[in-house]
Chain A
Amino acid sequence: MARKVLAKGNEALAEAAIAAGCRGFFGYPITPQTDVAAYMARRMPQVGGVYVQAESEIAAVNMVMGAAAAGARALTSSSSPGISLKSETISYLAGCDLPAVIINMQRAGPGLGGIQPSQADYFQATKGLAHGDFHLIVLAPYSVQEMADFMVLAFDLADRYRTPVMLLGDGMLGQMMEPVVFPEPVKTLPEKSWAVTGTKGKRPPNIINSLYIQPDELETLVLERYKRYEAIQREETRFETFFADDAEVLLTAYGSTARIAKSAVLALREKGVKAGLFRPVTLWPFPQEALRQAAAAAEYVLCVEMSMGQMVEDVRLAVNGAKPVHFYGRTGGVVPSPAEIIEQVTRIREGS
């Protein structure tokens, strides 16, 4: 068995990307994800890869687009304001059906906001990252081990469905240290017959493009893409439940907030309150049906986020009025505590 290493979340993302066969990292520093870039700067030359600190976030993601078009597993990483800058090219990646991985270690917003952890980019990641009809697959790890495992998964999903994939973490996940076993290095990467690698005069050129002159041609392509999105929803929806089977109080939370919610669940159980947790692991596709079923037996749902309430909208859609859905959030870089969650549960029970 591979040996355990004590790694920060950001380091785990970087090392796992290398294990996944990524040899192109293009980044620009921004707290709290700069450690990804710092790690890559040191590691990429050791494995024959390329690390480029671009002149801007926009340049970095455009380099990713170029590398992805050439068939490479390419990665960029940023934190909230930087992702906003990258958004135009992410739409182009989707429009060109290019596989690539984008990390967002969220910090507080809006605007320049702050450098402390946040989950206020949920809407951006899952609903409206940029213009046009498209989705990203959004993976939300909640431990350093998952950061490593999901990075490999992200590259696999990106290649399988020819789509950009986002790893959505937050500053706390990026900075905290936990033991991790890194995935075995990927030996062979999938064949990419569509990549622009040079025809050598033997085949017609591959063209990577998102511009279509005829509306019906573009519509056909978008419809084909949405068939793929349906396949992703069917095959790749992921979630975890924790004491959810007999839960009267069903918490929903993702990422680091789910860790805090788990502490609250255990503390509530000790007090005799039947609490449980439903944790979406893919934020898009959102595990709508699984959550509907999990909520069926509960008295009510309490969604906890480090935002003013974003995922809660998807929770309400899934529960579809069958049960009351409450919300508790902290924002601005403030991390909720298990005690605060317990207090919310008590308040709801007392009807205040």
Chain B
Amino acid sequence: MIYPKITIFAGLFGSGKTNLAANFALRLKREGRDVVLLDMDVVNPMFRLSELAGVLTPMGIDVITPPYAGTNVDIPALTGAMEAALQAEEKHVVIDLGGDDIGAAALGRFTGAICSAGYEMLYVYNCYRPFSASPKEAFAGLTEIERAAKLRFTHIAANPNLGEETTRETVLRGKRFADALARLSGLKVAFTAVKEGLQVLAGEISGALFPVRIFLNRAGALLPAM
């Protein structure tokens, strides 16, 4: 990846776009860039980026969310501040889209600005999610999103996980699925996201590893069912 001005995380519902977008923004920040994170999810009422603003803002990430996100009037309104961020030359913009082609449609309005600024769009792929168990099905989802977003994907972001139950084997198997999707789509796998602390060795997986922190775990209030 060459880190152009705009990085878009898109994919099927629940593939992990929000968590990857947050982690990616933090990585850019650590590299000394001026980062703004756009919550363009107009689909999901809960477990969304706006819930993380309180954590990310103190870390120096500018988070722009729909004005009523997380409230009882959670309406899909994308603000003018998003347009401004896309046009601000000094900013690196990370976009968290909503799931599926429905979520990707939110991007359409900004296509012109995004194309002229330069972008990468990553297809977040977790083969353990519904409608993702075969690379063929995942590819169908990918093309639907491209049509709705009016933009082409540039990479695949492998995000193989089973939540709390993710193991080394989960990741290794999921990466093989991502590789199969890469062959099918002609896209490269930019990285494989791995939960921080999980023992996956760099040599075990082809391509880059991206250690990620898990943010969206509601207040840590929910224990695994037991």
Contact = CB atoms under 8 A, between A and B. Distances in A.
- Are A and B genuine complex partners? yes
Interface of A: 4-8, 11, 15, 31-32, 35, 38-39, 42, 108, 113-117, 142-143, 145-146, 171-172, 175-179, 242, 256, 259-260, 262-263, 266, 333, 335, 337-338
A5 B126 CA distance: 10
B15 to A, nearest CB: 9
Contacts of B218: 172, 176, 335
A337 B219 contact: yes
A117 B222 CA distance: 14
Among B71, B131, B162, the one with the most A-chain Cβ atoms within 10 Å of its Cβ is: B162
Contacts of A175: 44-47
A338 B221 contact: yes
A171 B130 CA distance: 20
A4 B165 contact: yes
Give 6 nearest A-B pairs by CB, closest first: A114-B72, A143-B225, A175-B46, A179-B162, A6-B128, A179-B165
B163 interface: yes
A123 to B, nearest CB: 22
Contacts of A142: 225
Among A113, A115, A335, the one with the most B-chain Cβ atoms within 10 Å of its Cβ is: A115
Interface in B111-138: 126, 128-131, 133
A41 to B, nearest CB: 11
Contact of B129 (A6, A260, A263): A6
B162 A8 contact: no
A206 B32 CA distance: 75
B7 interface: no
A82 to B, nearest CB: 15
Interface string B51-90: 0000000000000000000011010000000000000000
DSSP majority for the B interface?
Answer: loop
B219 A8 contact: no
Contacts of A256: 222
Nearest to A264: B221
Given A242-B226, A266-B223, 14 more contacts: A6-B14, A6-B162, A7-B14, A31-B45, A32-B45, A116-B45, A117-B46, A143-B225, A176-B46, A178-B163, A179-B164, A259-B222, A262-B223, A263-B221
Contacts of A262: 223, 226
A260 B225 CA distance: 10
B221 A179 contact: no
Contacts of B129: 5-7
Nearest to B72: A114
Interface string B162-206: 111100000000000000000000000000000000000000000
The contact size tier of chain B is 20 to 34
Contacts of A39: 130
A337 B164 CA distance: 20
Contact of A260 (B14, B221, B226): B221
B161 interface: yes
Given A8-B14, A335-B218, A179 B163 contact: yes
B24 interface: no
Contacts of A259: 221-223, 225
Among B46, B47, B128, B220, the one with the most A-chain Cβ atoms within 10 Å of its Cβ is: B46
Contacts of A115: 45, 72, 74
A177 B163 contact: yes
B13 interface: yes
18 contacts: A6-B14, A6-B126, A6-B128, A6-B129, A11-B130, A31-B45, A42-B131, A108-B72, A115-B45, A116-B46, A146-B225, A178-B164, A179-B163, A242-B226, A259-B225, A262-B223, A335-B221, A337-B221
A114 B47 CA distance: 16
A259 B46 CA distance: 18
Given A6-B163, A175-B47, A333 B72 contact: yes
Nearest to A174: B46
Nearest to A116: B72
Among B72, B161, B164, B226, the one with the most A-chain Cβ atoms within 10 Å of its Cβ is: B72
A4 B170 CA distance: 10
Nearest to B160: A6
Contacts of B74: 31, 115
A32 B221 CA distance: 20
A176 B218 CA distance: 9
Contacts of B163: 6, 177-179
B155 to A, nearest CB: 22
A6 B13 contact: no
Contacts of B133: 5
A32 B14 contact: no
Contacts of A116: 45-46, 72
